[in-house]
Amino acid sequence: MDERQALAAFAAMAQEHRLRIVRHLVTAGPDGLAAGVLANAVEVSTSNLSFHLKELDHAGLIQSRREGRSIIYSAVYPALSGLIAFLMRDCCQGRPEVCAPAVAALSACCTPAGETAHA
């Protein structure tokens, strides 16, 4: 991810409903959520949701697919990972203790249920 892409991603998420949308989609996993379910979860009308989804899609943070009569939205995990990597690139500059809290936080969120993260 380059600086231009990072700026577009941050600009897209710099609004409370859009940030909530991304967080709900990340939590939903690769299966994603139907538009109606997502609208209820973030407490916006479906027309307002469409506006926010368009912004997130243009930034490359979400994607959609049709399943029957529903449109399912999901997070684009490589783009989100790229954004995190962009922020953390060269963060420790030879001092791993600087990045240790961020690495531990990411490890903890990605640990399967019942296992303990080792950072």
End-to-end CA distance of the chain: 25
Q: What is the pTM of this model?
A: 0.81
Q: What is the pLDDT of residues 54-112, one digit of tens each?
A: 999 999 999 999 999 999 999 999 999 999 888 887 777 777 777 777 777 777 766 56
* Residue type (1 letter), 34: A
Residue 46 to residue 28: CA distance in whole angstroms: 19
Is the pLDDT at 25 greater than 80? The verdict is: yes
Long-range contacts of 74-77 (CB under 8 A, 24+ apart): 74/25, 74/28, 74/29, 74/30, 74/31, 74/32, 74/33, 75/22, 75/25, 75/26, 75/28, 75/32, 77/26, 77/30
CATH architecture observed for domain 3-78:
Orthogonal Bundle (1.10)
| Position 119 confidence tier, pLDDT thresholds 50, 70, 90 | very low
